Amino acid sequence: MIYCGIDWAEKTHDVALVDDTGQLLAKRHITDDAAGYRLLLDLLAEYGDSQENPIPVAIETSRGLLVAVLRTGKRQIFAINPLAAARYRDRHAVSRKKSDPGDALVLANILRTDMHAHRPLPHDSDLGRAVAVLARAQQDATWNRQQMANQLRSLLREYYPAALDAFAPWQNGLCRPEARELLRTAPTPARAAKLTRTQIAAALRRAGRQRNIDTAAERIREVLRGDYAHQPQLVEDALGKQMLAQLRQLEAACTAADELAEAVEESFPQHPDAEVILSFPGLGIQLGARILAEIGDDHQRFADARGLKAYARASPITRASGKKSSITRRRVKNDRLNHAGYLWAFSAITASAGANAHYHRRRDENGDWHASAQRNLFNRMLGQLYHCLQKGELFDEQVAYPTELPQAA
């Protein structure tokens, strides 16, 4: 066996090849471009790399063009955590010296000695990886939109509390088109107090509102003309200009989130696993796409359901030393999958009678707090999802919760 280690950098990469005995066979310094990739593939081919017997590669990243080139065929790619690679480096030198060629050699030796302890990148389909790109981008855009809305809300509290009170009855508040249009029309409370009912109604129509326009315009007009404290005029005008700048950023974030959501709705239903995932209560297209993005469509990625649960931090972890033993929640996890699981479990409580009964049984009989009971529900649903994906079966409420359903009834 021959093993390859690549120390990844922004513009250049260091490559090292070792054999079973740890003997260094070759080392190269390649550039991060097509010529460098060809040099790397030629080097691997020179030492016996082929479709039938590919050389495994260890690298400290799981994405990028270099990884995409290496993933062609059946080659195993091992994404080694940089922290783990640093620990392996200390096994070879106690002086803590570091160099890029040395790190490439360390990565190659990781596969030579401990390849069985590391997991290769899953063999996801191109469609699965495309869905993962869109779902993660949409999740990032949603988080960015909420961050921008929070910053805008904080600014409005300093000089324009009437706007917050006017938009309070609306779901999503400042992210709604009506709220953004009204703020654009009246960026300061002084200008907002001068708006007529007709002007407010026109702003609502420009934002796309079609129902209860007159009633909403009257309510907003009364709130904007209420008795509020004011900043000095010059300060208020300056804050209004700052608010408009933040408003443009929020509008861009809202547009990006909406466009990416449409892209997810177009691509995710085309995936073969979409029907199984969407059969589960509490999972829609957006949340289902996020689940698929993190677990992938390589059904051999996890040896069993326990591995998937540990990956999502749904299962507890036991720490034992001497006579002491404790069972606590995991801290190392896939943050995106864990966040999607929180939303999934929260939605399933109201969408499934069996899930609702399981949640309340954990609260009432086991004395769990809300987060603990919800995490336990997520842990159970992940096991059900793993089974259904492996067998190609749809979710069945009667099979999933055979004991909880009579209690719920």
Under-50 pLDDT residues of the chain: none
Q: Work out the angle between the directed axes of helices 353-364 and 370-391 (0-180°, nearest 10).
A: 140
pLDDT confidence of residue 328 = 67
What is the number of other CB atoms lying within 10 angstroms of the CB of residue 37? 18
Separation of alpha carbons 12 and 44, rounded Å = 17
pLDDT confidence of residue 405 = 60
- The residue behind tokens 């609306």 is 170
What does the pLDDT look like over 353-393, one tens digit per residue? 999 998 998 888 888 888 889 888 998 999 999 999 999 99
pLDDT confidence of residue 275 = 95
Separation of alpha carbons 70 and 140, rounded Å = 27
What does the pLDDT look like over 225-244, one tens digit per residue? 999 989 999 999 999 999 99
Q: Which two tokens stand for residue 289?
A: 């796409």
pLDDT confidence of residue 404 = 62
Residue type, 60: E
pLDDT confidence of residue 329 = 66
pLDDT confidence of residue 247 = 95
pTM summary value: 0.83
Q: Count CA atoms closer than 13 A to 241's CA, side-chain side.
A: 5
What does the pLDDT look like over 136-157, one tens digit per residue? 999 999 999 999 999 999 999 9
pLDDT confidence of residue 180 = 93
